[in-house]
Amino acid sequence: MCGIAGLVAWWQGQARNRQVIDAMTATQHHRGPDDAGVWVDDHVAFGHNRLAIIDRSGGAQPMLVRRPGSGEVAITFSGEVYNHFQLREQLTAAGHRFTGRSDTEVVLRAYLHWGEDFVHHLRGIFAFGLWDCDLELLLLVRDRLGVKPLYFARTPTDVVFGSELKALLAHPDITAEVDTEGLGELLGLVPMTSPGHAVLRGIEEVPPATVLRYDRDGLTRRHYWQLESHPHLDDRETTVRRVRDLLERAVIEQAAADVPVGALLSGGLDSSAVVALAAGTTTQPLLTFDVDHGSAAAHAASAFHRSHDHPYALAVARHAATEHRTVEVGTGDLLRAHDATLCSMDLPSLTTINASLSHLFARISPHRRVVLSGEGADELFAGYRWHDAAAAPRGTFPWSSTYQPLVGVLRRETLRQVRPVRYARQRCLAALEQMPSLDGETGPSRRLREVRWLTIVFYLAFLLRRADRLAMAHGVEVRVPFLDHRLVQYTWNIGAGLHRARGLEKGLLREAVDGLLPEQVTWRPKSGYPASLTAPYQDALWERARELLAEPGAPVFRLVSARRLKALLDVNHGHLDDWTATQHVAYVLELDAWLRRYSVSIR
């Protein structure tokens, strides 16, 4: 999957650029423990950390090819192009000659063949920087759904990019600063961020399905793909059949690699469906993994998690004849994972679910470099409980009762300056302005489309960022068959009437995979990934928070009221059913640790 970094600097020398790109590349060793490389030319420097998945003996990066009779084109690439075999055949027939088997070389030769239109031919999950020496042109490209990360910034002398924020912060002219808008992201949208927003001042995230183009004339950007809204004309039977076909194709395509592929198996519908389809593509038993919080976990402590997953994971593993491994997680594991989780995410996030996932990937890493995941199915098939509340006021995030802005513990000065609730409303309305609307659609149908759009733009983006950072921190690549863009486009226009069956959410998906899974799994009500809420874990959080209160000069108290934090601790200690209180306490601790670790200045 790899980590990428790079810069373009018109007036700096190669020696300086080499020093900077070495520092940037070193910060992302975890993303590519197999190899590292840099390439420096007159105005550009690329760095790469390699996790070898395809063409392990070749495929080293940064990679260069020469345009016939002219100069070179270079690339630093992260991700996978799933249709690289087909593209290779097409390009070979057009006269291109390949020196290796990697999908990276396919991307380079696709650019030579189609020019900047080459992005339309790529199917997969990717982020890359491409430099054309003849044109002195940099292209920064991100996949259609934003599965792979890509950040960029402009300094007085450079354009800088990388897979993670830490790579950009290694540049000598980029520092960790947060202004009022960044605070709005941190305090009003917990744990999400607005499209394209990187929280830190001066840094942006390249939006999904976007090409940034930079040359001596400046920086431009364009979207090369977007969802299209139109009436869904297929009947239920046709729709079910089409969903099954698209999902099956995506799983088969994404299960291909030069290394053994495993799968996450929670026991829920989504991961179970992927496992059942993938198990039939392997010559050896598919290796699957689940995480078990044990009998002490408060499995119903959030509105997402309703029942214990582990028995269902075992049932699917037996049914699909996988080789299954369970990773047990306890309070000590969660606490030990806290600091590593923050370092992986680069931003305050949601430790109560992130820590156990980080622990899971750490245990997967020695056994598999690639795992399939069921991520994205809830967004496609209206699987969250808030999809049933499509009548929620416009301008309000549909998950606002589950993820609440951090207003209850903030200082009055912070509230006056940032206005987190108003900021969240502005971001919500701004996102809705970008939604591809269907002419004539009104009422509940229109509102459901808005809810689904917000869920894709904000919540899915958070889940993908979490999965990428926590997995890649341990050298594991996560593939997401449900987010094949053809399946995403097809399901986007399916109306509410087709999404339910037998009174359950995701009824359409359940019907599409009916017969693949044990009946009790196919028709099991949704139960989300469990929050790590146990009495010992909460006790440990409360103890850390009280230690923080004993340090009045802690950086977080520039934003948070010590008095209000103490009141929250006093009222909610021992109340595991209060998801918001535990979430906010954990977030305050993470916010303080982030301000310290990254030496963040507040403007």
Q: Provide the annotated active-site residues.
A: 2
- CA quadruple 271, 274, 280, 285: dihedral positive or negative? negative
Name the CA dihedral angle for 26, 82, 143, 162, rounded to a multiple of 10 degrees: 10
Give the type of residue at 588. V
* Contacts for 545 with CB less than 8 Å, ≥ 6 apart: 565, 569, 585, 588, 589
For 559, the token pair is 């934003």
What DSSP character marks residue 284? S
Residue carrying the six token digits 């991961």? 271
Whether residue 168 contacts residue 203, with contact meaning beta carbons closer than 8 Å, is answered with yes
436 vs 341: CA distance, rounded Å: 35
Distance CA 87, CA 69 (A): 23
> Rounded CA gap, 360 and 340, in Å?
13
Q: Which 3-state string (H, E, C) describes 77-119?
A: EEEEECCHHHHHHHHHHCCCCCCCCCHHHHHHHHHHHHHHHHH
Q: Which H helix or E strand runs over 7?
A: strand 3-9
Residues forming a β-bridge with 237: none
Residue type, 526: K
End-to-end CA distance of the chain: 36
In contact, 275 and 320? CB cutoff 8 Å: yes
**Helical H segments across 170-297, by residue range:** 180-188, 236-254, 269-279
CB atoms within 10 A of CB 525: 12
Residue from 49, 2, 42, 1 nearest 22 by CA: 49
Q: Are strands 124-132 and 44-50 parallel, antiparallel or unpaired?
A: unpaired
**Vertex 139 angle, CA 136 and 143, to 5°:** 170
Angstrom distances, CA of residue 183 to CA of 174, 401, 465: 18, 21, 19
- Residue where the block lists tokens 């039939």: 280
- State the Cα–Cα distance between residues 232 and 491, nearest whole angstrom: 9
Cα 514-447-377 angle, rounded to 5 deg: 30
Q: What angle do CA 173, 178, 183 make, to 5 degrees?
A: 165
Specify which residues 560 forms β-bridges with.
Answer: 410
- Residues 268, 384 contacting (CB under 8 angstroms): no
